[in-house]
Copies of this chain bind each other. A is one copy, B any other.
Amino acid sequence: MAEKRTPIPIGEAVSRVMEYAEEGAAALIPIEESFGRVLAEDLTADHDVPAFDRSPYDGFAIRAEDTQSKLPAVLEVAGEIGAGSVYPHTAKPDQAVRIMTGAAIPEGFDAVVMIELVKEHTKNEKKYIEVSRSYSKGDNLSFRGEDAKKGQILAGKGTFVDPGVTALLATFGYQEVPVASRPSVGVIATGSELLDPEAPLEPGKIRNSNAYMLLSQIRRAGADPVYFGKVADDFEACFQTISRALKETDMLITTGGVSVGDYDYLPDIYKNLGANVLFNKVAMRPGSVTTVAEKDGKLLFGLSGNPSACYVGFELFARPVIRRTMGNPFPHLKRIKAILGADFKKANPFTRLVRGRLKYGEGGTVSAVPAGFNKSSSVSSLAAADVFILLPGGTRGYEKGMTVDALLVGGETGSGWPWENILPSYR
């Protein structure tokens, strides 16, 4: 007779797991290697940007008042400044200074004329420009601090380092960047039916896709995967491998063996380890058998052996732990509203997470369309999915065109807590 398990809501399950997500260590790495890492400290401006009033163009620094009486104004070119050099004098009336893009505006000048807009001539070995329209103070200047002010926090702790953040790091002197250390996450596939990818198919067996999928999911989440191989459905072999892996990693993911079948050894292994089972049934499809246990503060994620269920279980439970460990204040999948792209007329008591694709439509709309074959055992739908369509359990189905909640899969954005007020069917 099968064990009876009590399903709990997804949000309740996720919150039980998040209690064990503790912030990890930080490391200093060279800025060249910072792309894709996560800031371990707030990134603060160490100076105003620009640090001085500067020219946005190649042209001439002038005194605006010299163009406000008689036109064209004829100004003597008193010198020139390249970017990076500084003009050592102060402006005198009817003077101009040749200036390059990015160069500091010299003392006493207060506007810039673009080079295309002047006529140049030479007289008695002196250079002059003619300016044919009048300028106001501040015209064509990039002002000190207009881009960023000293002391401003420009990217918070936990921010993903993308190229724009890299530019800020360089601007503010971070030749070495404090980043969150990547947690190590162990992966074990269980099941006597599993073949290695290189093995020829055998009757009744399947190739082990979940372990490799998880290695990719772990990398995408920002952590370091450690693969401990596949083990047959044998209590002792499973127990030994799991005990060892748990010692050697920050958290551990197994796939398979968590259901109520005769060869599902994970429940007994948790017992023998003395692990505390946080839950073993979640009111969701796929992945209702997802089990999470905790041993001395380390989490053991017991994901389903079904590929779609395993995939969803990772993204819902393991990913936010990894991201929170790395200081991310938005560790969960980003929740958005989208237009449902297909009918789901049959009611389901459990909340469904349909693997789908986001489509941007005319007029600034976004819809979510199921990605093909959507059973919990499906592997083909995963390659095409960039969104989970959230269909809360209940007594009604859903129709194409309704607005539903959806979770974005795979990006660097996130939600602080997506598990409240999810839109039910309104039919």
Chain A residues with CB under 8 Å of chain B are 1-2, 31-32, 34-36, 47, 49-52, 56, 58, 80-86, 98, 100-104, 115-116, 120, 142, 146-148, 154-155, 159, 161-175, 191-194, 196-198, 201, 203-217, 219-220, 225, 227, 233, 259-264, 305-307, 311, 336-339, 360-367, 373, 375-386, 403, 410-413
**Do most interface residues of chain A lie in helix, strand or loop, or is the interface mixed?**
loop
B115 engages A2 (CB within 8 Å):
yes
With CB as the reference atom, state the residue of chain B lying closest to A413: B386
Asked whether A170 and B208 contact (CB < 8 A) given A35-B216, A261-B58, the answer is: yes
Asked whether A215 and B32 contact (CB < 8 A) given A206-B51, A263-B82, A380-B168, the answer is: yes
A425 to B83, CA, bound (A): 37
A384 to B385, CA, bound (A): 25
B101 engages A259 (CB within 8 Å):
yes
Q: List 30 A-B contacts (CB under 8 A).
A: A31-B197, A31-B212, A32-B212, A32-B215, A32-B227, A58-B264, A80-B262, A82-B233, A82-B262, A83-B233, A86-B204, A101-B306, A102-B206, A115-B261, A148-B380, A162-B383, A164-B382, A164-B383, A166-B212, A166-B213, A167-B213, A171-B207, A172-B197, A173-B207, A175-B196, A337-B362, A339-B363, A364-B367, A386-B413, A410-B412
B263 engages A210 (CB within 8 Å):
no
Q: B residues within 8 A CB of A209?
A: 166-168, 170-171
10 other contacts beyond A170-B209, A363-B403, with CB at 8 A cut-off?
A31-B197, A35-B215, A35-B220, A50-B377, A51-B206, A147-B380, A163-B220, A166-B216, A364-B365, A366-B366
A104 engages B383 (CB within 8 Å):
no
Q: B residues within 8 A CB of A338?
A: 360, 364
Top 3 nearest A-B pairs by Cβ distance? A84-B193, A164-B382, A336-B360
With most chain B CB atoms within 10 A of its CB, the pick from A211, A213, A378 is: A213
A320 to B48, CA, bound (A): 34
Q: B residues within 8 A CB of A307?
A: 167
A148 engages B364 (CB within 8 Å):
no
Q: B residues within 8 A CB of A2?
A: 58, 115-116
State which of B34, B51, B212 has its C-beta within 8 Å of the C-beta of A216: B34
With CB as the reference atom, state the residue of chain B lying closest to A371: B164
Q: Min CB distance, A235 to chain B, in Å?
A: 13
A168 engages B383 (CB within 8 Å):
yes
B32 engages A162 (CB within 8 Å):
no
Q: B residues within 8 A CB of A306?
A: 56, 101-102
State which of B36, B49, B207, B378 has its C-beta within 8 Å of the C-beta of A380: B49
With CB as the reference atom, state the residue of chain B lying closest to A227: B32
A363 to B406, CA, bound (A): 12
With CB as the reference atom, state the residue of chain B lying closest to A81: B204
B379 engages A171 (CB within 8 Å):
yes
A51 to B169, CA, bound (A): 52
A192 engages B366 (CB within 8 Å):
no
Q: Min CB distance, A175 to chain B, in Å?
A: 4
State which of B36, B211, B220 has its C-beta within 8 Å of the C-beta of A162: B220
A58 engages B171 (CB within 8 Å):
no
A411 to B386, CA, bound (A): 11
